[in-house]
C-alpha cells in the first residue's frame, strides 16, 4: 500500500518535471528579489535557485541542471559574455537569456554570438515571454532591442552563394592576425582583453581593428561583428 506521503512526493516530482525550471544570476538585490517573485508566481515556471556571483551560480546549475539560465549583463565578479561561453562549454544544452536594463545593440549581438538565445529587458511583461520563447528553442529579442540590431545588418551579398566555396578570407584580404582579432571581437572581447590574449599593445590592437573595419567596408566594430557572423568569416 502506498502511503499518502509517497503519493504526495510522486505528485510533486511529476509537477516539477512539467515546470520550466529557471536559475537566476543577478547581483542587484532588488531585481533578484523581484524576478524570483515573478517567476514563482507563474503557473508552470519555477525558479529553482539564484546567486549574485557566476562561480557560485555555475556550481548550482551544474548540480541542478535548470532548463533556462537568466544572467545579468553587468556582473561584478566576471564578464558576462565570458561567463556565457564558459557555461556553454560545460553545459551546451542549457538555454541562456541575458537580462539588461538598457537598449544596447552591440551587447545584444555579442550576447547571441557568445551562446545566449535571448536578450531581454528587465521588465515583468517581457520576462515570461522571453522564457517561453527560448524554452521552445527559438531566439528572443525584445521588440525595442530588435529594431536597434536589425538596422545594423548589412545587405545580403548575393555572391556568397551556399553552393560556392567559402572564400571570404581571400575576398576581404584579412591577414591571419586580423582574423584572430575579428574572432575576439565576435566573442565580445574589448581592446584590453584582446591585447592581453594576443600579447600585443592596445595601440596595436586598435590598429588591427582599424584595418579590419577598412577591409570589411564598415564604419564601426558592431557592423564588423554582424558581417563576420553573417558571412561566417571566423
CATH code for the domain in which residue 200 is found: 1.10.10.10
Same domain, 34 and 146: yes
Same domain, 31 and 141: yes
User: Of the residues 94, 121, 150, which one is the last residue of a structural domain?
Assistant: 150
φ/ψ of 185, rounded to 5, equals -60, -45
Same domain, 68 and 133: yes
| Residue-by-residue DSSP string for the chain | ---HHHHHHHHHHHHHHHSEEEEEE---HHHHHHHHHHHHTSTTEEEEEEESSHHHHHHHHHHH--SEEEEESS-SSS-HHHHHHHHHHH-TT-EEEEEESS--HHHHHHHHHHT-SEEEES-HHHHHHHHHHHHTT--EE-HHHHHHHHTTPPPP-TT--TTS---HHHHHT--HHHHHHHHHHHTT--HHHHHHHHT--HHHHHHHHHHHHHHHT-SSHHHHHHHHHHTT--
Same domain, 125 and 177: no
pLDDT of residue 160: 42
Question: Total structural domains in the chain?
Answer: 2
**CA 16 to CA 207: how far, in whole Å?**
53
Same domain, 28 and 144: yes
Q: Is 232 exposed, middle or buried (0-12, 13-18, 19+ CB in 10 A)?
A: exposed
Residue 161: inside a domain, yes or no?
A: no
Same domain, 145 and 206: no
Which structural domain, as residue segments, surrounds residue 60?
12-150
Same domain, 213 and 186: yes
pLDDT of residue 35: 85
Same domain, 41 and 81: yes
CATH code for the domain of 79: 3.40.50.2300
pLDDT of residue 153: 55
Same domain, 45 and 146: yes
Cell of 204: 596595436
User: Of the residues 123, 150, 177, which one is the last residue of a structural domain?
Assistant: 150
**CA 134 to CA 147: how far, in whole Å?**
19
Residue 125: inside a domain, yes or no?
A: yes
Residues of the chain with pLDDT under 50: 1-17, 156-169
Same domain, 32 and 70: yes
| pTM of structure | 0.61
Amino acid at each position: 500500500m502506498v502511503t499518502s506521503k509517497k503519493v504526495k512526493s510522486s505528485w510533486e516530482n511529476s509537477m516539477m518535471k512539467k515546470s520550466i525550471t529557471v536559475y537566476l544570476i543577478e547581483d542587484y538585490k532588488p531585481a533578484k528579489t523581484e524576478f524570483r517573485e515573478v517567476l514563482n508566481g507563474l503557473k508552470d515556471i519555477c525558479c529553482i535557485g539564484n546567486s549574485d556571483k557566476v562561480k557560485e551560480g555555475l556550481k548550482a546549475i551544474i548540480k541542478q541542471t535548470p532548463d533556462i539560465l537568466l544572467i545579468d549583463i553587468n556582473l561584478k565578479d566576471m564578464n558576462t559574455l565570458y561567463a556565457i561561453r564558459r557555461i556553454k562549454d560545460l553545459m551546451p544544452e542549457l538555454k541562456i537569456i541575458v537580462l539588461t536594463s538598457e537598449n544596447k545593440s552591440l551587447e545584444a549581438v555579442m550576447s547571441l554570438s557568445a551562446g545566449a538565445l535571448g536578450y531581454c529587458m528587465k521588465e515583468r511583461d517581457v520576462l515570461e515571454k522571453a522564457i517561453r520563447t527560448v524554452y521552445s528553442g527559438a531566439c528572443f529579442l525584445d521588440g525595442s532591442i530588435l529594431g536597434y540590431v536589425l538596422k545594423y545588418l548589412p545587405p545580403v551579398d548575393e555572391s556568397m552563394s551556399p553552393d560556392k566555396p567559402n572564400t571570404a578570407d581571400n575576398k576581404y584580404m584579412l591577414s591571419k592576425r586580423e582574423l584572430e582579432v575579428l574572432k575576439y571581437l565576435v566573442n565580445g572581447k574589448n581592446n584590453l582583453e584582446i591585447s592581453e590574449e594576443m600579447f600585443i599593445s592596445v595601440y596595436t590592437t586598435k590598429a588591427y581593428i582599424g584595418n579590419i573595419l577598412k577591409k570589411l567596408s564598415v564604419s564601426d566594430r558592431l557592423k564588423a561583428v554582424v558581417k563576420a557572423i553573417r558571412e561566417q568569416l571566423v
